[in-house]
Amino acid sequence: MPELRGYRTRDAGLLATAWQGPLLMATGGAGPFAPPPPEPDGHWCRVLVVPDAGVAVLDRIDHVHRTARLSVATLDAPVVDLLAAALVVAGERLRLRQVIGVLPTGDEQQTAAAALGFVAEVTIPEHVWRDGNAVPATIWRAGLDDT
């Protein structure tokens, strides 16, 4: 399993090129007109990195409700491996109870997400802009701790 570590300024290039917005799983790099990368602020947002491979961003972190949004992006490394590593960090190191993530409805990655324990919760119409259209997206949830 890849080892995630905290963000360093030298990771800025990787973050900028991998980040495709707050999607649960994204791979292949951002391309032009990519959304701005997240900024780790030590409170609401934590950026974790596997150098030269990808990033895992936990944002909208709330330690009262023990929840966060998780987004994982790689260039060409297997994104599902990074997602699995991020789930371990979220549950065991940050003691979150669940994470949620967004995938366009019907996205090819949803099978992999389900295999890691994610459950489709809500589909929001027009939630993602893709290929010139607003398409629906599903919020997936992974429970990490039932207590």
Q: Which of 24, 25, 30, 46 binds other proteins (CB under 8 A)?
A: 46
Q: Considering only the stretches 73-81, 105-113, 115-123, report the one whose residues sit in contact with other proteins under the rule CB under 8 A.
A: 115-123
Determine what percent of the chain falls in helix, strand and coil, rounding each to the nearest 5. 20, 40, 40
Q: Which is nearer to other proteins, 18 or 128 (CB)?
A: 128
Q: Which is nearer to other proteins, 14 or 48 (CB)?
A: 48
DSSP structural state of residue 18: H
Q: Which of 13, 28, 35, 106 binds other proteins (CB under 8 A)?
A: 35
Answer yes or no whether residue 134 interacts with other proteins by CB under 8 A: yes
Answer yes or no whether residue 70 interacts with other proteins by CB under 8 A: no
Q: Considering only the stretches 77-85, 108-116, 136-144, report the one whose residues sit in contact with other proteins under the rule CB under 8 A.
A: 136-144
Answer yes or no whether residue 43 interacts with other proteins by CB under 8 A: yes
Q: Is 75 exposed, middle or buried (0-12, 13-18, 19+ CB in 10 A)?
A: middle
The single-letter code of the amino acid at 116 is L
Q: How far apart are the first and last CA of the chain?
A: 26
Of 101, 102, 89, residue with least CA distance to 144 = 89
Answer yes or no whether residue 125 interacts with other proteins by CB under 8 A: yes
Answer yes or no whether residue 45 interacts with other proteins by CB under 8 A: yes
CB atoms under 10 Å from CB of 92, counted, come to 11
Answer yes or no whether residue 1 interacts with other proteins by CB under 8 A: no
